[in-house]
Amino acid sequence: MSAFSNTPIQKIIFGSPGTGKSYKIDHEIIPNELGIDVSKDTEKENIIKTVFHPEYTYGDFMGKLVPITKSGNIEYNFYEGHFLKAIARAYKNILSAKEGEKPKNVALVIDEINRGNSSAIFGTIFQLLDRNEDGWSSYGISVSELEFHKILTLIGFEESGSFGYYKYAKARNAKVLEDYQDELSKLRINVIGSSVVGNSMHIPNNLSILATMNTSDNSIYFMDSAFKRRWDWEFINWDESKPPAPTYGNAGTLTQEEWKKLIKNLNSFIKKNHESVRGVEDKQIGYYFIKQPITADKILNKLMFFLWDSVFNRDKKPLRDILKVDNSRLITFGDFSKMHNEFIFSIMKLSV
């Protein structure tokens, strides 16, 4: 069976407290963009929610052994974390999809993503956030036998015979494993008759990851540039105002040549103002910082927020200078976002 046409969303929605970030996820993105009908009890299982906080760990996110006492004896059970639960649910939806139908989408929702140590919480899962055009992870990661066993049992596989072999007992027909061989191979599940073996995984294309972040809290835990690059971003201003329509490119979409020129000029601008930038080498921007197509939405929410929050986070003077505005006109990211036309044109006009 060919790859699915599902388009996963991997986005951080950010803005001031109380701007409706969680509301947008629950009432707009999940029902309208992912097609998850929250009014149905069976669909509610396709939404897994968590909140990051300073004590939240990789074990809470992926899974951990927890001791329990039974009849005076101590036993250890492996309890799945929110991410493990979400990825298993996504694969289960793939295998339970009726012939000719797209698998149901799954949404993992992380509130307050920067109130926990994201680098430590995601750990090796960070590698899975790079996605191919088909929506699957570009790279896989190896997982422990405990984690892999829990994923398979949550999907609906049962151990069969020798250790490490599993069978899928809930197939809709005898061909289901063969039909989904390409999809299962992304989990490194290799079909051997009715059995499988393996211990690594990819994020499937029916799993979306949505997160919220208060811009005022961005100093609680530092998010490095590599982590930020793997997400789309969407800014919600406190007054619900929108930036003016783009006047650059073709209705805000840049060609490859225009994008390369913008990045070349922007990196020159960053280097020229190196005294205002901490770690200027890491603040240079590569051509793949934004994947095609290069739209005004991505430029504004991802590129310009990166400049505001990571490059010129300590000193906004270079931004004020190139925009020719004083301190009173460039105080918040909301102010900067409304000047995206002037900023892009000013960068494009630089001589490098």
1 DSSP 8-state letter: -
Q: Which residue has the higher pLDDT, 47 or 193?
A: 47
Domain-by-domain residue ranges, the chain?
10-207, 242-348
What is the C-alpha separation between 144 and 345, in angstroms, rounded? 50
Alpha helices of the chain — where are they, by DSSP H?
21-24, 41-44, 58-61, 82-96, 118-122, 145-155, 176-179, 181-186, 225-229, 256-272, 296-298, 304-306, 317-323, 333-337, 340-348
> Is the pLDDT score of 349 beyond 90?
yes
Q: What pLDDT digit, counting tens, does each position of 55-98 carry?
A: 999 999 999 988 888 778 888 889 999 999 999 999 888 888 87
The residue written with tokens 């990166």 in the block is 306
Q: Which residue has the higher pLDDT, 306 or 42?
A: 306
- Find the mean pLDDT for residues 37-51: 90
DSSP symbols for 161-216: SSTT-EEETT-SSTTHHHHTHHHHHHTT---BTTEE---EE---TTEEEEEEEEGG
Q: How far apart, in Å, do the first and last CA atoms of the chain sit?
A: 50
Q: What pLDDT digit, counting tens, does each position of 221-235 carry?
A: 678 888 888 999 999
pLDDT of residue 231: 94
Q: Which range is least confidently modeled, 9-18, 142-151, 214-223, 260-269?
A: 214-223
Q: What pLDDT digit, counting tens, does each position of 286-343 carry?
A: 999 998 899 999 999 999 999 998 899 999 999 999 999 998 999 999 999 999 999 9
- Find the mean pLDDT for residues 247-256: 94
Structure tokens at 257: 């040549």
b/e per residue 268-283 (b: at least 16 CB within 10 A): ebbeebeebbeeeeeb
In this structure, the chain runs to a length of 352
The residue written with tokens 């835990």 in the block is 221
159 DSSP 8-state letter: E
Q: What pLDDT digit, counting tens, does each position of 167-216 carry?
A: 655 544 445 556 566 656 655 554 444 334 456 688 989 999 999 998 76
pLDDT of residue 175: 52
pLDDT of residue 2: 40
Largest CA distance in the chain: 77
Q: Going by C-beta distance under 8 Å and a sequence separation of 6 or more, which residues neighbour residue 178?
A: 191
Q: Which range is least confidently modeled, 74-78, 242-246, 258-262, 296-300?
A: 74-78
Q: Tell me the CB-side half-sphere exposure of residue 129, using CA atoms within 13 A.
A: 21
pLDDT of residue 182: 62
pLDDT of residue 160: 61
pLDDT of residue 6: 60
Q: What pLDDT digit, counting tens, does each position of 125-182 carry?
A: 999 999 988 898 888 888 887 888 888 888 877 766 544 445 655 544 445 556 566 6
